[in-house]
Amino acid sequence: QAKEQGRDRYVFFEPAMDEALKVRRKIEEEMRAGLERDEFFLLYQPIFTSDGRRMVGVEALVRWHHPEHGDQLPAFFLPIAEESDLIWSIGAWVLKTAMRDALAWPTLTLSVNVSPSQLRHPGFVPYLSRSLAETGFPRDRLELEVTEAVLMDHTASAKRIVNELKELGIGLALDDFGTGYSSLSYLRQFHFDKFKIDRSFVTHVETEAESAAIICSLVGLGEALGMKITAEGIETPQQHRFLQAAGCDYLQGFYFGEPMTAAQVMETFHSRAKPMPLAAIA
Ligand code: C2E
Ligand code: MG
Ligand code: MG
Ligand code: MG
């Protein structure tokens, strides 16, 4: 009976699984073609000092302009890219394109997200170092953002890669900090320059005492470890006020600026109109 049911289920599920797989394959092929047709593009989200007055960097965020379905977010296509060598090709394109763009923005730090499989690719560090040489991008203005997933499971090789990256002289930030499994032990083992407090804490900072408490202790932890702290996902002046008072070094979020085209970056850098001075909203 159980076997019978199992077989029924198998017969029932197979076409659906097959369909999902087909869709993924199709998207994969479209991404491959899209890379050749130049359908990927980058937006840059500004990062400010905690008083909100000085723009000190940008984070590159990849987008895909699908010919039929329009602009797509990374949450849609990167997980599929992760399953093949595509993540490597897209990641390589992102790195080089971002460095070329950012050459035009003196003083601004360029943050680039790197996914776990990208980082573990044996060609990653050589490619990065070649790209730095080819573009002439100053390495002390480049920062890679990685999530804890990079450090999980592969501690020995992760350590080697992290050390190689540090030897290159680029910055390393731990992204989405606080959302993973054993963040604290990673902080002990890997000496990152910075961590980014995840948006999920920032969003609830005014309504949840827990979020506020966690943010304050994360800032204390960062200070004790000599790390810089960026808070991400700030959408309101109240959140800005809280995070500035909490002692974050850098702030990022829609309140300060949404992801924008390369052409808009310098304009934003020079405009002091936004955000409003704290005194005006107090
Ligand atoms: P992330 O690195 O944590 O980037 C922050 C995400 O939050 C971005 O979404 C950004 O648009 C969004 N965001 C920023 N400020 C706010 C805010 O105030 N409110 C809200 N609601 N959202 C805000 P996006 O661009 O969709 O990227 C999502 C994730 O995809 C990124 O999270 C990053 O992990 C990954 N990603 C993006 N670009 C790349 C890339 O070039 N390579 C790799 N490997 N991953 C990337
Ligand atoms: Mg990031
Ligand atoms: Mg993040
Ligand atoms: Mg995040």
Report whether residue 113 contacts ligand 1, using a CB cutoff of 6 Å.
yes
DSSP lists the bridge partners of residue 46 as 58
Query: HSE (CB half, 13 Å, CA atoms) of 44?
Result: 28
**Number of other residues whose CB lies within 10 A of the CB of residue 139:** 15
Could you tell me if 262 and 44 are in contact, meaning their C-beta atoms sit under 8 angstroms apart? yes
Cα(61) to ligand 2 centroid in Å equals 8
83-98 residues labelled b (16+ CB within 10 A) or e (exposed): eeebbbbbbbebbbbb
In this predicted structure, what is the pLDDT of residue 282?
A: 47
* Mean pLDDT value across residues 219-230: 94
In this predicted structure, what is the pLDDT of residue 259?
A: 98
Higher-pLDDT residue of 249, 11: 249
Q: Is it the case that residue 32 has pLDDT exceeding 80?
A: yes
How far apart, in whole angstroms, are the C-alpha atoms of residue 259 and residue 244?
21
DSSP lists the bridge partners of residue 173 as 145, 194
How far apart, in whole angstroms, are the C-alpha atoms of residue 102 and residue 262?
8
In this predicted structure, what is the pLDDT of residue 185?
A: 78
Q: Considering only CA atoms, which residue is closest to atom 13 of ligand 1?
A: 233
Give pLDDT tens digits for 86-113.
999 999 999 999 999 999 999 999 999 9
How far apart, in whole angstroms, are the C-alpha atoms of residue 256 and residue 275?
6
Q: Is it the case that residue 2 has pLDDT exceeding 70?
A: no
Report whether residue 231 contacts ligand 1, using a CB cutoff of 6 Å.
no
Choose the residue to mutate in 93, 113, 146, 260 for probing ligand 1, maximizing ligand atoms within 8 Å of C-beta. 113
Torsions phi, psi for 198 (to 5 deg): -65, 145
How far apart, in whole angstroms, are the C-alpha atoms of residue 76 and residue 60?
17
Tokens of 31: 């991404």
171-198 residues labelled b (16+ CB within 10 A) or e (exposed): bbbbbbbbebeebeebbeebebebbbbb
In this predicted structure, what is the pLDDT of residue 117?
A: 87
Relative to the CA of 234, which ligand 1 atom is closest?
Answer: 18
Q: Is it the case that residue 63 has pLDDT exceeding 90?
A: yes
Nearest CA-CA partner of 44 in 263, 198, 196, 233? 263
Q: Where are the alpha helices (DSSP H) in 190-277?
A: 199-203, 209-224, 237-246, 262-270
Nearest CA-CA partner of 40 in 102, 118, 95? 95
Give pLDDT tens digits for 268-280.
999 865 555 555 5
In this predicted structure, what is the pLDDT of residue 198?
A: 94
Relative to the CA of 94, which ligand 1 atom is closest?
Answer: 41
Cα(30) to ligand 4 centroid in Å equals 26
Tokens of 110: 């360029």
In this predicted structure, what is the pLDDT of residue 138?
A: 97
Report whether residue 13 contacts ligand 1, using a CB cutoff of 6 Å.
no
**Number of other residues whose CB lies within 10 A of the CB of residue 35:** 17
Q: Does ipTM exceed 0.85?
A: yes
Give pLDDT tens digits for 153-211.
667 788 899 999 999 999 999 999 888 766 677 787 888 999 999 999 999 999 999 99
